Structure 1
Amino acid sequence: MQAERLFAENEGNVAFSIGEFDEELYHVVPLETFPIKLLVNEQDPLSEQESVTIEDLKNRPLYIESSQFAIYHLIMKKCEEAGFQPDIAFQTSGFSLCHKMVKENKGISVTVDFVFDDMKEQGLRLIPFSDDVYEWKACMITRKEEAENEAVQCFLQFIQEWIGKIKSGEIIR
């Protein structure tokens, strides 16, 4: 959220962030979309389920990134739509504390595949949501009132090629 705020205040000429953006104000280039999944300890009863719903968060200690992050707002919105407030045990500024608390079986969290893979923690399981779309959509944005100069266009091309190499397995994230 801080990157978006600074960009709205005319800091920089390119921003990368997660979510939906006002396409009246910005040129939005979706880069990659990752499904958000529930993170549970393998000893948690939910670990035996093939999928979960937002209702499975009800009355469970939830470790989640703070309101400065898009994933927080998405999960809060889904819970509100389902008619409940989640039991937020702790808000953090990074996924690592969430993973640590779930590993200690203190609660549940939400994350995306590549963060889960990067943490490489034994005893944890990711479970997809089946009741709605839960996505972490990474985008590059530029301001509509500013022409995208050659440097920005070259940078975007580089980013898109880099993502393509990750997807093809040529490089590892």
Structure 2
Amino acid sequence: MDIRHLQCVSEIVRLNSFTKAAEALHVTQPTVSKMIKNLESELRIDIFARDGKRIKLTDAGEAMLRHAGPILQSFDDLLTELHDLTYLNKGSIRIGLPPMTGSGFFPAVIKSFQERYPGIAIKVTEDGARKVEEGIAEGMLDVGVVLLPLDEELYDSFPIVDDRLRVVLHPDHKLAGRKRIELAELADEPFLLFNDHFALHELIPRECRAAGFEPHVAFESSQWDFLVESAAAGLGVTLLPETICRSIDPAKARTAELVHPIIPWRPAMAWRRDGYISLAAREWIRFARAAFESARS
């Protein structure tokens, strides 16, 4: 018995036809029949019960099919991994990107990578850093952008930018003319925060409590530009990275340096230390690391 026999049994059951199974396996129908007959002879069992035109598995056939699924899946996984050892002319990478880093940092890098490796498909999942980290941990993503610090026993990473948060508020706000604002000065303000998919969802309230107050959260969003528009409409204040704040029209909303404390925002590309990292994903890591190091130099 070999892998071809298991593929044959699986296809016959899936398609409920010896003829269609032969077409799927790119062989003739007599070849399929002969393979089954030889397998039954080798194992001294009947795999299919002959019942007119109906295709029905025997108990032995049911047992074979039950074990065939995991074996065939492992075989496909093996072929995929071996295919990675070619010249990166095919493959895919699952990348998780939070909105604030996805739009600001990655379009040019992704474009350059796809020009270099046109056969590799990049599948981008846009979500907050907290959800991206969960996706990496669960194996749903190959790599993704999260916020430092990370558990270095679980993840490898490289930094993208070393940034800090700024206060964003309405142009007519009483603090709008200030260059620096202490966090404690915002104790009575309604806060506009990212939702719980984002690392800042927990980080900002934690820093507020350390500054001596519990923040009043007016509402939450998954979009940084919506938070800016809401602050510009006078619905509250929000805290966003300096990189994002550079793009804000001062006529619409004002920004000020946040001090006491300074809250860092350090996104990094991360991946699991354990588990298999495909050659395509490893090349993406190398390519992106070089691109960001070049941008910082």
TM-score bracket, normalised by the shorter chain, equals: 0.7 to 0.9
C-alpha distance in 1, partners of 2:284/2:262?
A: 30
- In the other structure, the counterpart of 1:42 is 171
**Secondary structure of 2:175 counterpart:** helix
Which residue does 2:147 correspond to in 1?
18
* 1:54-93 aligned within 5 A: 54-93=183-222
Q: Which has the higher contact order (CA 8 A, sep 6+)?
A: 1
Is 1:129–2:253 an aligned residue pair?
no
Task: State percent identity of aligned pairs.
Answer: 20
Q: Alpha-carbon deviation of 1:79?
A: 0.8
1:151 aligns with 2:276: no
1:117 aligns with 2:249: no
Distance 2:173 2:156 in 1: 43
Q: Partners of 1:146 and 1:35 in 2: how far apart?
A: 33
User: How far did residue 90 of structure 1 move?
Assistant: 0.7
**Aligned mates of 1:56, 1:147 — CA distance in 2:** 48
Amino acid at match of 1:50: K
Give the stretch that moved more between structures: 66-75 or 117-126: 117-126
What letter corresponds to residue 99 of structure 1 in structure 2? V
Q: Report the CA distance between 1:159 and its aligned residue.
A: 1.7
Runs (5+) with no aligned partner, structure 2: 1-129
| Cα offsets for 1:5-58 (capped at 9, x unmatched) | 121112232222123211111112222122111001221111122211110220
Q: Where do 4+ consecutive residues of structure 1 move more than 6 Å?
A: none
CA RMSD of aligned residues (A): 2.1
Query: Post-superposition shift, 1:160?
Result: 3.0
> Hey, what's the Cα distance between the residues in 2 that align with 1:44 and 1:12?
42
Structure 2 distance, partners of 1:148, 1:9, is 14
Over 3 Å counting, the alpha-carbon distance change for 1:118 and 1:158 in structure 2 is farther
> Is 1:5 matched with 2:128?
no
Aligned to 1:96: 225
The TM-score normalised by the length of structure 1 is: 0.85
Change (3 A) 1:149 1:6: closer
More helix by share: 2
- Identify unmatched segments of 5+ residues in structure 1: 169-173
Number of paired residues?
168
C-alpha contact (below 8 Å) 2:171/2:250 kept by paired residues = no
